[in-house]
């Protein structure tokens, strides 16, 4: 077992809001039993696919993070095991092992077998936590074919093993250890009968682990992958990640770079993160990928706490010369994608403060209109993290903070702290205002262009682009639009579609790279204007998801380098200016086949990868099917090479096609990746491509 350092609660730590209550069996509150979890796992973890699989990891890690937020832990180790297992070790107090006064069972067994049993209810064990994680531990247990818990507490190591949530033996009191050695180790293997895959994605977990370290200053969190990996290229060509190492206690080597172990197999190097400056380091990290000059060198940061109301806020922010806003919010370390009252308070205070500063310092004259919030936030990177006793999450994905008291608290803290900073830094303040004034001028210039693209009505044809081949249905929920590059592919798509509910919008070549352009220039681009008017939602501040003309927007591009580039340009436009389309699940990537296998004595087949091609050929040959000598296998270089019937059969027919839905799990990570791929920093882009090249399924150069 790894040896972990011990910590004591830091009283008065504004980030922890730690409680002095005893954390023992009396603090565990039981609300209901563990029924139906295995029957309907999606109700508890969202899905049984890759997203649900990783949700299990977050539940266990977040429990350890709660110990850190309460001031009782400062070290967490996460390990990806072979055969789908996960191990999480912390040096917190350990889940209580004493007997519960009402249930007459060890408290740790209740936490792991009762759906709503935990120290997060009623404030007995925690004043701040990332959610109802008593639910999480038991659900992970219920969905695991094996689940081992080890608690270091009260001078002994306590162990228990479960299968699908059922204890295999009573809690055992094992070897003696020093009284002051405490902590919990959870090791589990998700059930292969329940989950579609038990193959954890290293990068998904690494990004979440790093984010956790940013949000909890002083917390050391490491990630180790014990699975052997296939070395597909010279490892010397894989550079260390230029994004890693900001304020890290142990500088992590690139996770992409394998290392040899004693058996000769290659494995990823472990990574360790620790950020003593917390959100200040986070903003520095986010801005590093933008390759945009900072408007002011110093990252602005502050922390404020109201102990009486159990509220704390930490803010870090910096303006750059980029044109995109990058504001990320968290509540009790939960990523609040949809914003909420903490973001409302931040925005309200920021807009008023900058306008007041601009007028006081004569940058805005009396007759000038106020700067809008969008003007002021152009180029701003900010992270807002609040901690509170009873968070209320709402919105479509339960990632919007609803606590009304938080808005006023954050607004007041921002007014005081940012107000002081502006008073102390008048030169930097004027530079911030100057950038906002330039953004306002661009906004005015863009207004006419935006008016030209704004739809007259939800389904009026008067505002539609001329090249759109619209569908007959007026019901957006069943309507689809295929974005196709090139006239030949567009012609095949028009002939092959179902005209009742499938529309085709051809575009010419590569659209504008919006990562490097302001809104006024974006709206003067003819291809972008056609997309905006076709979608019907408007753009930027005029965006209205309820006016979407299609609930499926399908990006259909060739499988070569140019096609990938076009797809990335389109995704950048959607992410920067129409993000709700992605958040609501309206955006898809078509998956056209790569090969046609033309058998002489059997029906033709289509393959979507080299592996599938080889498997189909092997299977067909074993059946006695024959391939013509010269032209048995056709490699599609582009969509235009398919006739309309092939395009329908393979890519557009709902009964046969494969569509990949574009999702947004981590806006901060997506922001960083788009900045790297579409920004100015060539070296960062080269490093990203090298590290992720092995994940590309096909590449035709």
Residues tagged active-site: 485, 558, 560, 562
Q: How many Å apart are CA 373 and CA 436, to the nearest integer?
A: 9
Count of CA atoms in the C-beta half-sphere (13 A) of 98:
12
- Our CA angle for 328, 333, 338, nearest 5°, is 40
Q: Which 8-state DSSP code applies to residue 336?
A: -
Q: How many Å apart are CA 452 and CA 1, to the nearest integer?
A: 66
Q: How many Å apart are CA 332 and CA 17, to the nearest integer?
A: 11
Residue owning tokens 């590569």: 510
The number of residues making up the chain comes to 701
Q: Which 8-state DSSP code applies to residue 294?
A: B
Segments of 129-177 assigned E as strands? 144-153, 156-163, 166-167, 172-176
Nearest to 336 by CA among 408, 288, 404, 384: 384
Residue owning tokens 């266990």: 60
Residues 509 and 570: beta-carbon distance below 8 Å = no
Residues 148 and 161: beta-carbon distance below 8 Å = yes
Residue owning tokens 């038990």: 198
Going 92 to 97 to 100 to 105, the CA torsion angle's sign is positive
Residues 154 and 178: beta-carbon distance below 8 Å = no
Going 117 to 122 to 126 to 128, the CA torsion angle's sign is positive
Nearest to 6 by CA among 182, 150, 126: 182
Beta carbons within 8 Å of 460's beta carbon, 6+ residues apart: none
- Tokens at 443, concatenated: 């906004």
Q: How many Å apart are CA 30 and CA 322, to the nearest integer?
A: 51
Q: How many Å apart are CA 251 and CA 462, to the nearest integer?
A: 58
Rg for the chain, CA atoms, rounded? 28
- Tokens at 530, concatenated: 């056609």
Residue owning tokens 């106020």: 370
Nearest to 483 by CA among 461, 463, 459, 502: 502
């Amino acid at each position: 077992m790894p040896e972990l350092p011990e910590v004591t609660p830091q009283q008065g730590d504004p980030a922890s809001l730690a409680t002095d209550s005893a954390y023992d069996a009396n603090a565990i509150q039981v609300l209901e039993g563990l029924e139906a979890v295995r029957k309907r796992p999606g109700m508890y973890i969202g899905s049984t696919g890759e997203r649900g699989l990783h949700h299990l990891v977050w539940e266990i890690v977040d429990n350890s993070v709660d110990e850190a937020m309460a001031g009782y832990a400062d070290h967490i180790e996460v390990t990806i095991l072979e055969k789908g297992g996960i191990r999480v070790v912390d040096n917190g107090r350990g889940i209580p092992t004493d007997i519960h006064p009402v249930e007459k069972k060890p408290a740790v067994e209740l936490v792991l077998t009762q759906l709503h049993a935990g120290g997060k209810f009623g404030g007995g064990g925690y004043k701040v936590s990332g959610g109802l994680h008593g639910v999480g531990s038991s659900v992970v247990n219920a969905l695991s074919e094996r689940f081992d818990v080890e608690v270091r507490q009260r001078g002994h190591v306590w162990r228990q093993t479960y299968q699908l949530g059922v204890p295999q033996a009573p809690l055992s009191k094992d070897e003696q250890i020093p009284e002051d050695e405490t902590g919990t180790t959870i090791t589990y293997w998700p059930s292969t009968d329940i989950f579609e895959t038990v193959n954890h994605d290293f990068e998904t977990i690494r990004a979440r682990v790093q984010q956790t370290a940013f949000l909890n200053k002083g917390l050391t969190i490491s990630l180790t992958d014990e699975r052997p990996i296939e070395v597909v290229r010279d490892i010397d060509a894989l550079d260390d990640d230029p994004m890693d190492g900001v304020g890290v206690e142990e500088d992590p080597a690139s996770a992409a770079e394998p290392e040899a172990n004693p058996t000769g197999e290659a494995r990823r190097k472990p990574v360790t993160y620790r950020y003593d400056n917390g959100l200040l380091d986070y903003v520095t990290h986010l801005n590093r990928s933008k390759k945009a000059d900072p408007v002011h060198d110093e990252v602005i940061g502050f922390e404020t706490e109201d102990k009486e109301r159990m509220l704390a806020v930490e803010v870090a922010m910096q303006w750059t010369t980029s044109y995109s806003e990058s504001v990320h919010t968290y509540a009790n370390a939960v990523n609040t994608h949809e914003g909420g009252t903490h973001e409302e308070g931040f925005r309200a205070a920021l807009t008023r403060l900058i306008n007041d500063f601009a007028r006081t310092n004569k940058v805005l004259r009396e007759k000038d209109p106020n700067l809008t919030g969008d003007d002021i936030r152009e180029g701003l990177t900010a992270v807002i993290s609040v901690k509170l006793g009873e968070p209320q999450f709402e919105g479509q994905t339960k990632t919007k903070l609803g606590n009304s008291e938080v808005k006023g608290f954050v607004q007041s803290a921002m007014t005081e702290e940012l107000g002081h900073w502006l008073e102390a830094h008048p030169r930097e303040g004027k530079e911030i205002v100057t950038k906002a004034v330039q953004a306002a001028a661009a906004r005015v210039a863009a207004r006419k262009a935006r008016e030209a693209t704004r739809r007259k009505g939800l389904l009026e044809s008067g505002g539609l682009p001329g090249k759109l081949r619209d569908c007959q249905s007026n019901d957006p929920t069943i309507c689809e639009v295929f974005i196709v590059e090139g006239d030949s592919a567009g012609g095949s798509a028009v002939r092959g579609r179902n005209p009742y509910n499938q529309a085709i919008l051809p575009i010419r070549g590569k659209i504008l790279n919006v990562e490097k352009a302001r809104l006024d220039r974006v709206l003067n681009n003819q291809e972008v204007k056609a997309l905006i008017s076709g979608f019907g939602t408007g753009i930027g501040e005029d965006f209205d998801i309820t006016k979407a003309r299609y609930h499926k927007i399908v990006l259909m591009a060739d499988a070569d380098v140019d096609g990938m580039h076009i797809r990335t340009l389109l995704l950048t436009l959607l992410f920067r200016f129409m993000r709700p389309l992605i958040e609501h699940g309206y955006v898809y990537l078509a998956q056209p086949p790569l090969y046609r296998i033309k058998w002489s004595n059997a029906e033709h087949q289509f393959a979507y990868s080299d592996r599938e091609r080889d498997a189909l050929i092997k299977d067909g040959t074993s059946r006695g099917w024959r391939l013509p000598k010269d032209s048995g296998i056709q490699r599609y270089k582009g969509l235009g090479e398919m006739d309309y019937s092939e395009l329908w059969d393979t890519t557009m027919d709902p009964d046969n096609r494969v569509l990949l839905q574009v999702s947004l799990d981590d806006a901060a990570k997506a922001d960083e990746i788009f900045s790297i791929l579409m920004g100015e920093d060539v070296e960062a882009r080269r490093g990203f491509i090298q590290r992720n090249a092995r994940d590309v399924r096909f590449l035709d150069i």
